[in-house]
Amino acid sequence: MMRVLVACEFSGIVRDAFSDNGHDVWSCDLLDTDAPGNHITGDVLSVLDDGWDLMIAHPPCTHLSVSGARWFKYKQAEQAEAIEFFMALVNAPIPMIAVENPISIMSTRYRKPDQIIQPWQFGHGETKATCLWLKGLPLLEPTDIVSGREQRIHKMPPSADRAKLRSMTYPGIARAMADQWGARGKPPDQHACSVNNPKVVEGA
């Protein structure tokens, strides 16, 4: 059993997938959880030092995603704050880390992602390119390649819950994370694990 932190998740989808596999897992978000379960309501930066073995992080992409590039010049301060938060998660003192985001400026401000996955590789006939930056973890292997390339998320109509719905992890991807990364087991010695300290590259 591992201690797992799911950062910036209110839905409980990834948390519950790891919980089903017997891990001590907690989600953390500024919002309350939408589903009953272990959840910390608050700033995830305040709990990064609490002895986690694995963290799956979903930092907000509003000011990072290239889909909003036309607005970047109007929100430079917000973007700088988003980059700082992203890098705080990347550099957390946790042996195994996966940080996910859509195609974003972090490919140049930080580094290219280790992997880009799609929902249709995990049982959902849709497209939504998701980048994964990994530390101490292998690439996520596809589990159920299906037909269909619907852009459901992109075509989602405006609504009060649109941002929340767009941010939710597909259950098939959550299950693959829990089954593959959760099966790696507790690191033998957290203090012996090296922690990368990459720097943000100025300009993009």
All domains of the chain in start order, with CATH: 3-186 (3.40.50.150)
How many C-beta atoms lie closer than 10 Å to residue 165's C-beta?
Answer: 12
Stretch among 11-15, 135-139, 171-175, 188-192 having the lowest mean pLDDT? 188-192
C-alpha–C-alpha distance, residues 180 and 45, integer Å: 26
User: In this structure, is the dihedral angle defined by the CA atoms of residues 183, 186, 16 and 151, taken in order, positive or negative?
Assistant: negative
Residue 185: pLDDT band (50, 70, 90) is confident
Q: Which amino acid is at 67?
A: S
| pLDDT, tens only, 152-184 | 655 555 645 545 555 689 999 999 999 999 998
Q: Which residue, among 120, 170, 105, 190, has the nearest Cα to 150 in the 3D structure? A: 120
